[in-house]
Amino acid sequence: MGNVLFIVWRESLEAVLIIGILHSFMKRTSGDAAKGLRFIWSGVAVGVALSVALGWVTVEIQDSLQGARLDYFQTAMLFLSAALMTQMVVWMNKHGRKMKKELESSLSSAMSTSGFWGVSVVAALAVAREGTETVIYLYGLSLESSGAGMAVAAFVGFVLALFTAWTVSRGIRFLDYGRFFKITSLVLLLSASALVVTGTNRLIEMDFLPSLVNPVWNTSWLLSGSGVIGGIISAFTGYRPRPSLMLVMIYALYWVLTLGWIQWESRVSKASSLAAVPVSR
Amino acid sequence: MKLIYPVLTIIMAAAGFSAATSSAADEIPTFHLTIKGHKFDTETLAIPANTKFKLVVKNEDASAEEFDSMDLSREKVIPGGKSAEIALGPLKAGEYHFIGEYHAETAYGSLILK
């Protein structure tokens, strides 16, 4: 029972936390918060539907060819999620800076619709990724033990995940602007890098990438990656105790490209805002 | 337009590469694990190091299990009554732990690569 509660909590936490961040971002910066929230919740609804569909497909799979197709699909989903989340952080930072300026000069602004769509898709993919496993888990559980206690435990686990995310999102709402963006950006980028890690391992397993040296080092004496804390750290940062050389290289490449992109964007927007202000003589 | 030639070369090389690996796939040694009563039937499995291998995990329980190994960098959900193929290696010698994430207190084991 406690196990069911914990697994549902653990599986829902990531998606719920990402949605919590999107939610507090909308509340905080959007000129039209209600519209932004509608985009988030429709993303969540699509994500739930996708979870049930993917869970059903997984349970109904008959042969290894279908299994391979599902693997391709899920791997593509991982990289798409990582790319969109990274792009969203860049967008949030740019938008956040602009919003702050406009709020200070008491101008109201509506977010661009493309930005809203991005948020919606990120929410849908976050729910679908974690939700699929939860659907399969709960379905199997219902076959094995038809106890109302299990359903209650699963429900409590989900509510606890909501509560955890609510606490976090409440907490970060009180931070000042600069810290709010730094912390939420870091959490989202780390989650995206963890998706890149999972996706890269899938590509290695499918033989699209060689592992080169495997493992290249072993830090399981420091943090094994299993257990409660290790599991959560792995899910949110991409940590692996015994990574392959290929994995380390792709992980490093992700961070170099991402940080380079953010640097470049901030230089561009700084340059353009300087150009917009007429120089006083 | 000139870009199309390097792109074509890469695609053809990739196709050749995957054809080569799929023909080699037939000779890949396969090892079996069975989950029953939320336990793995074998808790330590000896496997040769530095070579590719395949792990076939059969879940004989009604409920789902997630084969999860941080050491091996693999996670795979296996619905009740299904089996999953997990491609692994080449791996250096050593002990690699795995668990059934949904029943971690009973379902665990390790691969010993020698």
Q: How is residue A155 written in tokens?
A: 């429900």
CB nearest B90 (choices: A141, A214, A234): A214
Q: How is residue A229 written in tokens?
A: 């804390």
Q: Which chain A residues have a beta carbon less than 8 Å from that of B113? A: none
Q: Which helix (H) or strand (E) holds B72?
A: none
**The amino acid at B20:** A
Which residues 41-70 of A are in CB contact (within 8 Å) with B?
A: 58-59, 61, 64, 67
Which range, of A110-119, A136-145, B61-70, averages the lowest pLDDT? A110-119
Each residue's pLDDT tens digit, A1-16: 678 899 999 889 989 9
Sign of torsion, CA B10 A195 A222 A183? Answer: positive
Q: Which of A101-105, A223-227, B42-46 has the highest mean pLDDT?
A: B42-46
CB nearest A136 (choices: B68, B73, B79): B79
CB nearest B64 (choices: A140, A206, A225): A140
Looking at the complex, report in whole angstroms how far the Cα of residue B9 sits from the nearest Cα belonging to chain A: 16
CA distance A113 to A110: 9
Q: Which chain B residues have a beta carbon less than 8 Å from that of A67? A: 84-85
Q: Calculate the alpha carbon distances from A224 to A230, A246, B70, B91 in Å.
A: 6, 20, 7, 18
Q: Quick one: pLDDT at residue A98?
A: 67
Contact between A74 and A53 under an 8 Å Cβ cutoff? The reply is: no
What does the domain layout of chain B look like in residue ranges?
A: 28-113
Band (pLDDT 50/70/90 cuts) for residue B91 is very high
Displacement of CA B51 from its chain's centroid (Å):
13
Band (pLDDT 50/70/90 cuts) for residue A217 is very high
Is pLDDT of A270 > 50?
Answer: yes
User: Of residues A179 and A102, which shows the higher confidence score?
Assistant: A179
Q: Quick one: pLDDT at residue A281?
A: 42
Q: What percent of chain A has pLDDT over 70?
A: 88
Q: Quick one: pLDDT at residue A189?
A: 96
Q: Which CATH architecture fits B28-113?
A: Sandwich (2.60)
Q: How is residue B37 written in tokens?
A: 């009563």
B75 DSSP β-pair partners = B68
Q: Quick one: pLDDT at residue B13?
A: 59
Q: What is the average per-residue pLDDT within A126-142?
A: 92
| Residue of chain A nearest B56, judged by CA positions | A64
Q: Quick one: pLDDT at residue A190?
A: 96
- Number of CB atoms found within 10 A of residue A139's CB: 18
Each residue's pLDDT tens digit, B29-88: 999 999 999 999 999 999 999 999 999 999 999 999 999 999 999 999 999 999 999 999
Band (pLDDT 50/70/90 cuts) for residue B4 is low
| ipTM metric | 0.86
Residues 6+ apart with CB under 8 A from A56: A135
Q: What is the average per-residue pLDDT within A32-59?
A: 91
Is pLDDT of B1 > 60?
Answer: no
